[in-house]
Structure 1
């Protein structure tokens, strides 16, 4: 297999080293990651300036390692566009910090994996608290191998994997989960003239028992399938079936 390893924390962060070394028995490892920390960049891409690429040789034992002075999704694009490799799998992470609930909307880790999906490559995003990295180091090889052997990966979704809170020495089990809420509120502290520091505070939300957030809190490794297409087909059908929301009714009411 040809395996692309990406992240959003940066090419010299320990999480990506764990992935590169632990997944090496599965195939040829290629590492392409941001040169600098890019957490919270979401699925942004660079469109108005050139991307600077640095060759890191065989860093972490990889067949090839590159850094990109750009965003996480840029890294996936550079890997596919420059390396000339047919990748069988992309694994993004291990992110230093969880990516559950609404975090996935902001996560560069999830975005780098989603970009691989867009480019036709089965992908996994892996995250967990920094103090939980040992959990991934002990288990990620067997987990990815098991998922591959059982044909769980596809080209319609990514698998978003999160290790649990660091208050647990090791995860207690594995759960298939839904995306929870995990909302944050922003508070802005003025630290200078026209200069504000952002402080994020977790909002107390009711989480479903089968959500990734609940799994994180209760000591379970969560695996959540995430789709690129965010259309809610059932709701779409409900809206179309309502007489006052029928497309003809809407058209007649906005066109004179």
Structure 2
């Protein structure tokens, strides 16, 4: 199923969509893995498509950092080279990647690198108070599905963009795309198609996505020559099924680490969970809202609860 064929339902209201002619978008591209094959391929493809793209990524792999920000750190110079020689030791802690135009690095967390792109680079490239049409976080080297998204730097970047009112998508591919230029090219083609579909179906206000909402998109594992553009697409939910059950493990030698168990059996009620669908070969699309605010029904429950427990409550 193609994204442009979907009627997006948010809070019980179907958003009317209208077709507008596609044009050049201002896109900020980031991730939590750093200067990777996926990042380079997506940047090149979206630029080839005619979009205005800047990329800003962590100097080192920062997977699992979620919404982390190093408030107390002063960024000075690099003590070691960035991933894939994006910058050498001794270089400034943030700046343009070696030999690249409009691709930048930051010696910090994923959100710090995205903030650099939004707050510093975008105004330098596109002028003061630029209109940013879309933030793309990814494509990650490994899927972000189920409850693991709570610690995902990829999804954390998308959430940060949504907090600023910027449409955002988090995109994750399989771990086999790591340092694999051939697979990264397929990832880029698939990403380009998704952006074109988003452009072709926007809401009545000209937005690529409903206000306050973003997409968590996961690509299933595929091999070179599998023609990723022909993979089936499916609308999913985060759900409760987790392919990877994270746990804190204490080892016999007294050390500890975060490990995981692999789950393989889902219940009938979990059939539409993204962790199940991507394992069946689907490109999964899960709608996510910004932040943690409850829906209308939950808010009404809270008003009733507060009125019952306290005569001093202002439950407006």
Can you list the C-alpha shifts for 1:122-146, whole angstroms capped at 9, x where unaligned? Answer: 1111102123645423322122111
Structure with more relative contact order (C-alpha pairs < 8 Å, separation 6 or more) = 2
Change (3 A) 1:26 1:103: farther
The residue that corresponds to 2:46 in the other structure is 23
Identify the match of residue 216 of structure 1 among 278, 286, 295.
278
The residue that corresponds to 1:100 in the other structure is 145
The residue that corresponds to 1:34 in the other structure is 58
Moved more, 209-218 or 36-45: 209-218
Query: TM-score normalized by structure 1?
Result: 0.85
Superposition deviation, residue 209 in structure 1 = 2.3
Equivalence map 1:241-256=2 (5 Å): 241=304, 245=305, 247-251=306-310
Change (3 A) 1:252 1:238: closer
Superposition deviation, residue 67 in structure 1 = 0.5
Identify the match of residue 164 of structure 2 among 96, 112, 119.
119
Equivalence map 1:1-256=2 (5 Å): 1-11=25-35, 13-24=36-47, 25-51=49-75, 52-56=93-97, 59=100, 63-83=101-121, 84=123, 85=126, 86=130, 87-131=132-176, 133-134=183-184, 135-151=186-202, 152-166=208-222, 169=226, 170=228, 172-181=231-240, 182=242, 184-190=245-251, 195-203=255-263, 206=267, 208-233=270-295, 234-241=297-304, 245=305, 247-251=306-310
Can you list the C-alpha shifts for 1:55-104, whole angstroms capped at 9, x where unaligned? Answer: 21662xxx412101111111111112112142221111110000111121
Task: Give unpaired runs (5+ residues) of structure 1.
Answer: none
Distance in 2 separating the partners of 1:40 and 1:130: 14
Aligned residues: 245
Please give the root-mean-square deviation of Cα atoms over the aligned residues, in Å.
2.6
Distance in 2 separating the partners of 1:41 and 1:226: 19
Quick check: 2:28–2:118 contact (8 Å CA) kept in 1? no
Query: TM-score normalized by structure 2?
Result: 0.70
Quick check: 1:125–1:161 contact (8 Å CA) kept in 2? yes
